[in-house]
Amino acid sequence: MKVKEIIVVEGKDDTARIKLAVEADTIETNGSAIDDRVIQRVALAQATRGVIVLTDPDFPGGKIRETLTQSVPGIKHAFLRKQDCQSPKGGSLGVEHASIETIQEALKNVHTPHKEAEIEDLKPFFIQLGLIGQSHSAWYREQLGDELGIGYTNGKQFIKRVQMFQITKEEILTAMKKIDRALPVEKRGVNSFDR
């Protein structure tokens, strides 16, 4: 599989893993403290070939995504689930631990942010669904992020990500029903979507 866009990763181990999965060029950020040189390289790559960001599904990876999204309009994002990129020995989490198939699938399902989207206040909707403000909210956001292919983050950032990728309320409800159906009946919450 050949990827025309340049893939932004965090380090050389990620690059090595990407090159086993696909034929592509990469830019390494070498950590979450992205300097102006890296931003300029990513901006040039976006202008010439396009960019896909594929970072670890953790806080530093999210910080890299946020910085690049704000600095370089129109870049694409590919996401990995935490459970798909765990070190076999445990503890470590990252792109370098993902299977070839998982990386290929993530790169087939990229998302492009839309800044000009009409911003609707989704907080009441998310509260109603139990995605923020409840003891199980983090778990539901993680499942929903996996189902929608946009990764996991805290409530405020999750709303921002849903808006950025123009995910509709209907898409969220459909995904929540699917998640809820996968739970045993006794584990379904008061906001069960499959009644």
The residue with tokens 């798909």 is: 84
- pLDDT reported for residue 189: 54
Determine contact, residues 9/95, Cβ cutoff 8 Å. yes
Q: Between 83 and 8, whose confidence is greater?
A: 8
For residue 195, the model assigns a pLDDT of 35
Query: pLDDT at residue 129 above 80?
Result: yes
Q: Which amino acid is at 121?
A: D
Could you read off the pLDDT of 24-48 as tens digits, one per residue? 999 999 988 899 999 999 999 999 9
Residue corresponding to tokens 């704000």: 70
Mean pLDDT of 37-65: 94
For the chain, domains (ranges, CATH) are 6-108 (3.40.1360.10), 123-187 (no CATH)
What pTM did the predictor assign? 0.75
The three-point CA angle 180-183-184 to 5° equals 135
Check residue 84 and report its DSSP letter.
G
Backbone torsions φ then ψ of 97, nearest 5 degrees: -100, -5
Q: pLDDT-derived band of residue 191, with 50, 70 and 90 as boundaries?
A: low
194, pLDDT greater than 80: no
DSSP-assigned letter for residue 139? H
Lowest mean pLDDT among 23-27, 63-67, 111-115, 160-164: 111-115
Measured in residues, the chain has a length of: 195
